[in-house]
């Protein structure tokens, strides 16, 4: 029984380099050799390091390992040097299903080259709550039908090129104001609402052949109202709705079992057992692997979990491994990775999509940026202190002929830093604010510091100013009186920074349409079209 239970557990592993004779590798080897885990979720490393580590573990495993990763905007989301696309919401701004297909296709080619067989994407949530602290630009937009088309296109693109896919977070995490990494969000929705909104993209994903569905750690008021159970632990939701009503026959995957919304109440072992009983097949990222195995075995021995129920899930996992060709070949060639991962042709596709996704919300003094090359202050802000936001933007503006003075503001910046920023601003005739405010696990909010919002508004009233959001598109709610240019660039990857520089210099058109409602002034579909000079 322990061997079967192991096949249904997938722990998290860093993709960074580690030597074989280290405690870190011994831990990973124990997952494979002692617990017999069915797979690994890999994250945060380089393609060569990750692939080499996975090859070593594959050789030690009695059965081949299924390897998964979160690759929502391409393999670069987890692998340094892979092709980085704009966030999914940018694809909503282009509105083209072919773009979503290309995202799936290129992600699949690069992932499989590294030894990743399964992506925990696409995000199928409909982001219709601007205060959502964890979905935001990870969603394709707020229109259920538009999101459904792009989700289905992504699934087809990845599936056609050998990558398993996951629609998440079922039944829909887009209208929540709480981060489930911290505590349990509650969605006030009943069947009629779910059927016409949240479930629309999931149906499309299922029809397109999605491999798996990932559960959401959110409670719904009309399901399990007395217990306020997360959907992950709700038989009515996972079996009654997903399996019976939607007819889904593939793998059901829990969201991470480390998240506060679930373990704060039940602990690691009992959360895993309840998730399995509710209908999940794969237990993702348990906090204490040994406790989860022990709890699952005890539930089987006591009769809570029947042998038939266990075998059904194990069979699903083994069939997936067979479909992935893992019983024939379980390792990858390291020499072939540089020819596929991050290749120029892939980056060209990402650059093209980024350019067409750029969305002009408010025109302001844009023409002054496009008509003249001159001294410009670039004020950058990112919530991670090591984030290199603005480096490509600045390089490209210089290439176009601007003279740039850059100043970086951090979340910890105090009055003296803001005084320095004002000095830089006063010394330049125009200003670009480049902001990367984005959903970060367990942060609980997506917002600019108030001091920075005030600086943006005041600067916009004094001189030509452009605010570029390389992240959340909802920043205008913090700067309602801002009169300058406002551009949505979705995330701080090189493709988007190049697109912004070209747009500000006037060498590229701006054609994106917002896939979300920003305000009464800026409804869904808003976007000012500007041709190239």
Res 181: pLDDT: 64
Tell whether 275 and 406 lie within a shared domain.
no
Identify whether 344 is part of a domain. no
Tell whether 83 and 225 lie within a shared domain.
yes
pLDDT digits (tens, 9 = 90+) for 270-324: 999 999 999 999 999 998 899 999 999 999 999 999 999 999 999 999 999 999 9
**Structural domain boundaries enclosing 401:** 358-505
Res 178: pLDDT: 67
Token representation of residue 397: 């503006």
* Domain's final residue, options 290, 309, 339: 339
* Domain's final residue, options 339, 368, 385: 339
Task: Give the count of domains, the chain.
Answer: 2
Beta-bridge partner residues of 521: none
Tell whether 335 and 408 lie within a shared domain.
no
* Domain's final residue, options 339, 374, 400: 339
Identify whether 476 is part of a domain. yes
Identify whether 511 is part of a domain. no
Tell whether 321 and 421 lie within a shared domain.
no
Tell whether 106 and 8 lie within a shared domain.
yes
Identify whether 404 is part of a domain. yes
Identify whether 37 is part of a domain. yes
| Mean pLDDT of the 144-165 span | 98
Residue among 341, 332, 335, 340 at smallest CA distance from 55: 332
Tell whether 128 and 48 lie within a shared domain.
yes
Res 96: pLDDT: 98
Instruction: With H, G, I as helix, E, B as strand and everything else as coil, classify residue 123.
Output: strand
| Whether residue 232 has pLDDT greater than 80 | yes
pLDDT digits (tens, 9 = 90+) for 415-438: 999 999 999 999 999 999 999 998
| Mean pLDDT of the 448-472 span | 97
For the domain that residue 255 is a member of, what is the CATH number?
A: 3.20.20.300
Tell whether 323 and 431 lie within a shared domain.
no
Identify whether 517 is part of a domain. no
Burial classification of residue 243, based on how many CB atoms lie within 10 Å of its CB (0-12 exposed, 13-18 middle, 19 or more buried): middle
Burial classification of residue 377, based on how many CB atoms lie within 10 Å of its CB (0-12 exposed, 13-18 middle, 19 or more buried): buried
Res 288: pLDDT: 85
Identify whether 352 is part of a domain. no
Identify whether 516 is part of a domain. no
Residue among 391, 361, 411 at smallest CA distance from 524: 361
Its pTM stands at 0.96
Res 228: pLDDT: 79
Residue among 43, 48, 45, 97 at smallest CA distance from 337: 48
Tell whether 323 and 245 lie within a shared domain.
yes
């Amino acid at each position: 029984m322990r061997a079967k239970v192991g096949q249904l557990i997938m722990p998290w592993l860093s993709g960074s380099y580690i030597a074989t004779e280290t405690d870190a590798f011994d831990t990973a080897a124990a997952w494979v050799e002692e617990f017999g885990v069915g797979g690994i979720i890999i994250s945060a490393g380089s393609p060569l390091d990750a692939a080499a580590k996975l090859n070593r573990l594959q050789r030690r495993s009695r059965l081949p390992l299924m390897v998964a990763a979160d690759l929502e905007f391409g393999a670069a989301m987890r692998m340094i040097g892979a092709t980085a696309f704009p966030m999914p919401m940018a694809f909503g701004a282009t509105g083209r299903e072919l773009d979503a297909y290309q995202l799936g296709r290129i992600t699949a080619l690069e992932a499989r080259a590294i030894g990743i067989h399964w992506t925990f994407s696409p995000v199928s949530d409909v982001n219709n709550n601007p205060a959502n602290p964890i979905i935001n630009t990870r969603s394709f937009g707020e229109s259920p039908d538009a999101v459904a088309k792009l989700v289905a296109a992504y699934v087809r693109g990845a599936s056609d090129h050998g990558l398993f896919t996951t629609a998440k977070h079922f039944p829909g995490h887009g209208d929540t104001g709480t981060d489930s990494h911290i505590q349990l969000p509650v969605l006030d929705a009943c069947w009629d609402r779910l059927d016409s909104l949240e479930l629309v993209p999931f149906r499309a994903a299922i029809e397109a052949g999605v491999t798996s569905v990932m559960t959401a750690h959110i409670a719904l008021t009309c399901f399990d109202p007395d217990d306020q159970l997360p959907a992950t632990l709700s038989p009515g939701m996972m079996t009654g709705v997903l399996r019976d009503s939607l007819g889904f026959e593939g793998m059901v995957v829990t969201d991470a079992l480390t998240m506060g919304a679930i373990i704060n109440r039940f602990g690691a072992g009992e959360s895993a057992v309840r998730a399995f009983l509710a209908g999940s097949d794969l237990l993702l990222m348990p906090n204490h692997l040994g406790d989860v195995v022990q709890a699952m075995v005890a539930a089987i021995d006591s009769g809570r979990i029947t042998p038939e129920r266990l075998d059904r899930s194990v069979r699903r996992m083994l069939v997936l491994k067979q479909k992935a060709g893992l019983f024939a070949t379980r390792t990858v060639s390291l020499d072939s990775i540089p020819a596929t991962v991050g290749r120029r042709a892939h980056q060209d596709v990402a650059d093209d999509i980024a350019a067409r996704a750029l969305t002009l919300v408010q025109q302001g003094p844009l023409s002054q940026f496009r008509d003249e090359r001159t001294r410009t202050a670039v004020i950058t802000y990112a919530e991670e202190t090591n984030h290199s936001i603005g480096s490509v933007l600045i390089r490209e503006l210089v290439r176009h002929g601007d003279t740039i003075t850059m100043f970086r503001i951090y979340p910890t910046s105090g009055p003296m830093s803001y005084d320095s920023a004002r000095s830089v601003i006063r010394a330049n005739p125009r200003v670009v604010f480049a902001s990367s405010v984005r959903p970060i696990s367990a942060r609980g909010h997506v917002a600019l510091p108030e001091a920075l919002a005030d600086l943006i508004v005041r600067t916009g009233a004094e001189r030509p100013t452009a605010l570029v959001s390389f992240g959340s598109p909802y920043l205008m709610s913090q700067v309602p009186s801002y009169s300058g240019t406002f551009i949505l660039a979705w995330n701080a990857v090189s493709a988007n920074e190049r697109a912004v520089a070209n747009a500000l210099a006037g060498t590229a058109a701006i054609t994106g349409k917002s896939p979300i409602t920003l305000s009464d002034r800026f409804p869904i579909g808003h976007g000012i079209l500007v041709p190239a000079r």
